[in-house]
Amino acid sequence: MAENRTAAPDTLGIRHVALKVRDLASMEKFYSEVLGYRPEWRPDEQSVYLTRDSDTLALHHDPQAPSASSLDHFGLFLKKPEDVDAWAEAIKSRGVALKKEPKTHRDGSRSFYVDDPEGNCIQFLYHPPWK
């Protein structure tokens, strides 16, 4: 028996992430000063919405936020493989150590990883099919 499913329209992708954070000031500073996000909206003293390009990142202060997360990582896509290395150098020049240095993978993608101040892992990724 065939299932009767309604087709859903295409999405624009995951372009918004919201994180519960213990130290709102240090997290905002990292995403603003190291990664170039800018504040878009402060609905209250416990939250800030940051934006860069077509992405938004919400930081919500929660002193009870766990020190470990089930989140493995989230990624920022880059246009060219050279952009991976440029971002890695830019981040290191701001005094932030990389978790994993830039590497070209078997599928032709290139990436590196860095942790934010609360241990969330961010992958900077060039992926050829998604130029």
Number of domains in the chain: 2
**21 in the same domain as 52:** yes
CA-nearest of 24, 117, 22 to 65 is 22
Check residue 6 and give its pLDDT.
78
Which CATH number fits the domain that encloses residue 42? 3.10.180.10
Mean pLDDT by 10 residues, the chain (131 residues): 73 86 96 96 96 94 83 91 95 96 94 94 88 53
| Length of the chain (residues) | 131
Residues 6 or more apart whose Cβ sits within 8 Å of residue 71: 120, 121
State which residues form the domain around 55: 14-64
The CA distance from 74 to 3, in Å, is 33
Torsion over CA of 120, 33, 87 and 74, rounded to 10 degrees? 20
* Paired sense of beta strands 55-61 and 16-21, if any: parallel
The CA distance from 39 to 115, in Å, is 20
The CA distance from 46 to 38, in Å, is 17
Check residue 1 and give its pLDDT.
56
**77 in the same domain as 59:** no
